[in-house]
């Protein structure tokens, strides 16, 4: 069970300053009712774009219906990259932000990129909640075959979600600590992780155990060596089974979790307990140096 409260709190309190503004591509289309000043806000890395009060801030400028008389659908982009609403904001930023703050996010209501992102629909909060709970259930099955999640009551599911929605650390962890427990003091069955190399690249999610058959803790470096071998270099080439392999990041790559360049010898079990996002998945960002997960500029 995750018991280092200071680390959990530090991760939870991670914040990003964001500048939301109407995209230049939208101006002159005659769709927006008026122009608004950019909206600056400091947001939790753990939250999701549709949960922010952005639409409320710009509501005087957003028409109720579009040119086809359908409900107007707001979507977000950074540069030329449409942003997926179901990914945590911190993950999106780590993929395309390049460390530049405030992070600039465009507001769009025209030319919806249906081939890149899914529609959120009118029940935005409920759709985000449904996606979140689905991930929590999947992660729980990977860790304990769902043995913990299936015993949570509906009001506990609701409290877990309210903790994320309202940024309430204590409310969230009153429930989530149960999902991080070790059943019979055993490590997780496997680690719920996803490796992202770009916003619109297919993520890597495989079966990976937190402990070897001879009961040695596996590390972030070992996970990456197995699933993205080009991103790490193995330093210890000995065949001695008692020697734990050590790794370093390969030249030309950046590897981050919650925006942190994480040591590759960190046990993956500890990372799962302490650095997973609220949906209980460990998001590992692997990017080539100088290459962001952003769409190329049109030619």
Q: What is the edge-to-edge ordering of all strands in the sheet holding 103-108?
A: 39-44, 15-22, 103-108, 75-78, 81-82
What pTM was computed for the model?
0.91
The torsion angles phi and psi of 81, rounded to 5 degrees, stand at: -100, 115
Residues 120/48, Cβ–Cβ less than 8 Å: no
Residue 146 has a pLDDT of 87
Share of the chain above pLDDT 90, in %: 69
Residue 296 has a pLDDT of 43
* Other beta carbons within 10 Å of 276: 23
Q: Which helix (H) or strand (E) holds 161?
A: helix 154-165
Residue 34 has a pLDDT of 72
Those residues of the chain that have pLDDT short of 50 are: 1, 242-243, 296-299
Residue-wise pLDDT tens digits, 27-52: 766 677 677 789 999 999 999 999 99
| DSSP state for residue 296 in the 8-state scheme | P
| Three-class DSSP category at 13 | coil
Residue-wise pLDDT tens digits, 81-121: 999 999 999 999 999 998 999 999 999 998 999 999 999 87
Exposed/middle/buried for residue 203 (C-beta within 10 Å: 0-12, 13-18, 19+): middle
- Region of residue 99 (left: phi > 0; alpha: psi -120 to 50; beta: else): left
Mean pLDDT (the chain) is: 90
């Amino acid at each position: 069970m995750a018991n280092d409260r200071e680390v959990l709190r530090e991760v939870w309190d991670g914040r990003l300053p964001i500048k939301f503004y109407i995209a230049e591509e939208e101006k002159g289309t005659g769709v927006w009712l008026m122009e608004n000043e950019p909206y600056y806000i400091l947001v939790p890395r753990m939250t999701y774009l549709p949960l922010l009060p952005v639409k409320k801030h710009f509501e005087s400028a957003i028409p109720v219906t579009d040119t086809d008389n359908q409900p107007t659908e707001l979507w977000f982009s950074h540069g030329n990259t449409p942003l997926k609403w179901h990914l945590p904001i911190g993950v999106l930023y780590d993929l395309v932000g390049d460390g530049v703050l405030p992070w600039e996010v465009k507001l769009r209501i025209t030319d919806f990129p249906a081939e890149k992102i899914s529609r959120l629909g009118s029940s935005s909060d409920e759709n985000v909640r449904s996606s979140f709970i689905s991930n929590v259930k999947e992660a729980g099955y990977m860790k304990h075959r769902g043995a913990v999640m299936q015993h949570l009551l509906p009001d506990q599911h609701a409290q877990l979600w309210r903790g994320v929605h309202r940024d309430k650390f204590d409310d969230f962890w009153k429930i989530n600590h149960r999902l991080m427990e070790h059943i019979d003091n055993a490590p997780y069955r496997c680690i719920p992780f996803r490796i992202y190399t770009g916003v619109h690249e297919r993520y890597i999610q495989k079966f990976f155990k937190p402990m070897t058959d001879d009961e040695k803790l596996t590390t972030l470096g070992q996970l990456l060596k197995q699933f993205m071998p080009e991103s790490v270099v193995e330093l210890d080439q000995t065949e001695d089974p008692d020697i734990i392999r050590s790794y370093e990041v390969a030249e030309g790559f950046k590897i981050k979790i919650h925006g942190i360049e994480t040591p590759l010898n960190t046990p993956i079990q500890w990372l799962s307990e302490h650095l997973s996002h609220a949906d209980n998945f460990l998001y590992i960002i692997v990017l080539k140096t100088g290459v962001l997960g952003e769409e190329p500029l049109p030619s």
